[in-house]
């Protein structure tokens, strides 16, 4: 799959553009100016990159915008190649048997008042969940933001997280809420479960 990304000068220029501007969107004519390539060539390569999943597209003001997909499986490796970022030993980190970074678990465990914490999405190999960290409890928004910033720095990409009060989580779990069920049915790692609420569900 990754070999499909390479093979043309235009594609390489596009990868340089997107990997150096994560979170920024570009429309086609803007891209052609920025990388100085023909519009047909740019359109073709954007289509290839969309198919592989390395970029995403969205329409706004009747224009189609493209940006790098930070949830793409090889995002970190491509950033290292095309944005000149060195993948440090801190980023590689030590993983446990489930393939989850020990540092991520430690960071989440250190958030005060967390009663339940689940890692999934880009933080758990093989997970396709839309959320990377689910926190349950009466937690400080500032402490959560700080912890997520630490994980984002280690990952080199944005993290999707959600915080739920305990009563709301327990209720949604009991009625088999679609979002909660999707996360728990897929690959995930329980970092904290102080009340053994998920153990009771087994």
C-beta separation of 65 from 59 below 8 A: yes
Task: Look over the chain and give the mean of its residue pLDDT values, rounded to a whole number.
Answer: 84
C-beta separation of 133 from 159 below 8 A: yes
Res 125: pLDDT: 81
Strand-pair partners of 59: 64
pLDDT, tens digit, for every residue of 138-157?
Answer: 999 999 999 999 988 888 88
C-beta separation of 149 from 159 below 8 A: no
Residue 92 has pLDDT above 70, yes or no: no
Res 113: pLDDT: 92
pLDDT, tens digit, for every residue of 171-196?
Answer: 999 999 999 999 999 889 999 999 88
Residue 116 has pLDDT above 70, yes or no: yes
């Amino acid at each position: 799959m990754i070999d499909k990304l390479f093979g043309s000068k235009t594609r390489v220029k596009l990868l340089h553009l997107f990997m150096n501007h994560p979170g920024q969107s570009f429309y086609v004519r803007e891209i052609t100016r920025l990388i100085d390539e023909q519009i047909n060539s740019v359109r073709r390569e954007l289509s290839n990159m969309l198919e592989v999943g390395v970029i995403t597209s969205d329409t706004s003001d009747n224009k189609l915008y493209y940006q790098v997909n930070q949830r793409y499986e090889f995002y970190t490796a491509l950033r290292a190649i095309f944005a000149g970022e060195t993948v440090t030993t801190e980023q590689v980190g030590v993983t446990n048997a489930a393939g989850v970074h020990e540092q991520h678990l430690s960071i989440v465990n250190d958030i005060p008042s967390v009663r339940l914490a689940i890692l999934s999405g880009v933080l758990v190999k093989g997970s396709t969940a839309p959320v990377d960290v689910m926190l349950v409890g009466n937690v400080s928004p500032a402490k959560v933001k700080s912890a997520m910033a630490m994980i984002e720095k280690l990952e080199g990409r944005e993290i999707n997280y959600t915080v739920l009060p305990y009563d709301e989580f327990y209720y949604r779990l009991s009625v088999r809420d679609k979002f909660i069920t999707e996360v728990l049915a897929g690959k995930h790692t329980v970092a904290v479960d102080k009340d053994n609420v998920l153990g009771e569900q087994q």
